[in-house]
């Protein structure tokens, strides 16, 4: 199985991704980019120091200099690379279990490089494994934290009234945790010691088991919101004051409303988001799944403001199009402080429909499954942004192939709970 995935490079350490592989990947990225400088950061996984060292060895062997910024969140790596107008590579497996690791890449224009925008060519260089002998590049260490904190503080000047409980998931998202003190936000930190064993729960906010401790803590602490980061803090999840999950669709609506109080503009959202989004945000536009596409939309649209995915990636144009969990969290806290209303009440006012969780199905022939559903529902309106979205009488659903796993993914929304159940049972039986 290839280490080169749709959006990054990733595998189990050391069985699939070893130090030797990291050297070769470093060589390949340097050879492909032909750049003079690459910023390298790493998360808190147990294998990250060894893989970062090997990656740097590979990069410098091809003549490129390295700026080593040490343990950081992925948004901090992106920020550093953008500020230095340099390529950047982050050693991280993001939200994956502890045995995984990998690399995320950004170019010197701030564009995330994925399989369709260059990493396929990096893979070809990697497979060929033929490199020119060059004079070794240099390595310098740099602390990006003070500059990053100073810019955040400047962006969020003002009084915060809302109280937060923040679960850092023992990940590298805790590196800039001082910002909550600098902004004088009432808060309680949870699991903010970096530990690559992730001893308390998986570093994935989408996993229900990862939310149990935070849900309890929010209620006990009488907080206005619970915030949970994934392992490298490019994804975020939220809990309301009652300990219930605040769905990404409705967080997106609230964040968009917050921005619309200041200026008009365009918003981009996951096609799996509730129909409530388009009803509340007229300038919201649906996109296919995959955070690189949201970043591209923000970058290419001068009137864009904000984009968000169901998986918890939230990006602001004003913040260099970075999917930064911390930045999005501060935005929500700012809005809650301004509105002085409970998060659950704000969300309840937006809920009009009944929606399923994302349902994952193992299907032998994914293409045949999509064709079958398209044929069965041909009398309805069908969109083909990503997989197929069927708009029926009082319901809609999306069926698409996973970009990262051998699965079919399904989301359904309906006007009544009964209709949701009916559509769900019929659709799943057809897919099976």
Active site residues: 94
Residue 286 · residue 385 · CB < 8 Å: yes
Tokens read off for 213: 């401790």
Q: What is the DSSP string of 111-126?
A: PEE-GGGTHHHHHHHH
Q: Check residue 320 and give left, alpha or beta (phi > 0: left; psi -120 to 50: alpha).
A: left
Residue 224 · residue 162 · CB < 8 Å: yes
Residue whose C-alpha is closest to residue 95's, from 177, 20, 206, 199: 206
Query: How many other CB atoms are found less than 10 A from the CB of residue 127?
Result: 12
CA dist 358 and 410 (Å) reads 6
List Cα–Cα distances, 56 to 24, 60, 123, 251, in angstroms: 10, 6, 18, 39
Collapse the DSSP code of 305 into the 3-class scheme (helix H, G, I; strand E, B; otherwise coil) and give the result.
strand
Query: Residues 243, 244, 248, 250: what is their CA dihedral angle, to the nearest 10 degrees?
Result: -110
List Cα–Cα distances, 125 to 22, 57, 186, in angstroms: 14, 17, 50
Residue whose C-alpha is closest to residue 233's, from 121, 106, 74, 371: 74
List Cα–Cα distances, 83 to 64, 65, 141, 205, 342, in angstroms: 18, 16, 16, 29, 37
Taking CA 37 as the corner, what is the angle to CA 36 and CA 39, rounded to the nearest 5 degrees?
165
Residue 89 · residue 112 · CB < 8 Å: no
Tokens read off for 174: 């805790």
Collapse the DSSP code of 43 into the 3-class scheme (helix H, G, I; strand E, B; otherwise coil) and give the result.
coil
CA dist 43 and 195 (Å) reads 10
């Amino acid at each position: 199985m290839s280490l080169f995935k749709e959006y990054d490079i990733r595998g189990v350490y050391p069985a699939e991704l070893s130090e030797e592989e990291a050297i070769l990947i470093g060589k390949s990225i340097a050879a492909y980019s032909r750049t003079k400088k690459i910023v390298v950061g790493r998360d808190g996984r147990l294998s990250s120091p060894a893989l970062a060292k090997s990656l740097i060895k590979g990069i410098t062997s091809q003549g490129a200099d390295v700026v080593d910024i040490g343990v950081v969140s992925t948004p901090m790596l992106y920020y550093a690379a953008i500020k230095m107008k340099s390529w950047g590579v982050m050693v991280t497996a993001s939200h994956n279990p502890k045995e995984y690791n990998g690399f995320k890449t950004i170019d010197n224009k701030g564009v995330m490089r994925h399989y369709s925008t260059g990493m396929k060519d990096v893979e070809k260089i990697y497979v060929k494994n033929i490199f020119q002998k060059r004079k070794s590049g240099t390595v310098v260490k740099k602390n990006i934290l003070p500059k990053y904190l100073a810019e955040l503080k400047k962006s969020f000047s003002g009084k915060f009234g809302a109280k937060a409980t923040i679960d850092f998931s023992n990940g590298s998202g805790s590196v800039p945790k001082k910002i909550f003190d600098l902004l004088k936000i009432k808060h309680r930190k949870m699991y903010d010691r970096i530990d690559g064993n992730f001893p308390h729960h998986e570093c994935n906010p989408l996993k229900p088991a990862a939310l149990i401790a935070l849900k309890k803590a929010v209620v006990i602490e009488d907080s206005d919101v619970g915030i949970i980061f994934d392992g490298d803090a490019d994804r975020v999840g939220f809990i309301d004051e009652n300990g219930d999950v605040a769905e990404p669709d409705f967080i997106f609506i609230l964040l968009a409303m917050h921005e619309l109080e200041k200026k008009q503009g365009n918003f981009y959202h996951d096609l799996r988001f509730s129909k409530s989004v388009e009803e509340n945000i007229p300038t919201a536009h649906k996109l296919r799944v995959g955070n690189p596409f949201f970043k591209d939309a923000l970058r290419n649209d001068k009137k864009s403001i904000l984009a968000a995915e169901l998986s918890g990636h939230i990006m602001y144009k004003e913040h260099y199009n970075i999917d930064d969990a911390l930045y999005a969290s501060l935005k929500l806290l700012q809005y809650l402080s301004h509105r002085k209303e409970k998060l659950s009440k704000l969300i309840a006012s937006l809920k009009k429909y009944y929606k399923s969780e994302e349902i994952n199905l193992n299907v032998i022939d994914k293409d045949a499954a999509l064709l079958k559903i398209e044929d069965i529902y041909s009398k309805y309106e069908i969109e083909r942004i990503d997989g197929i979205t069927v708009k029926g009488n009082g319901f809609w659903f999306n069926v698409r192939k996973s970009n990262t796993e051998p699965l079919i993914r399904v989301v359904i929304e309906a006007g009544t709970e009964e209709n949701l159940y009916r559509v769900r049972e019929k659709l799943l039986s057809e897919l099976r």
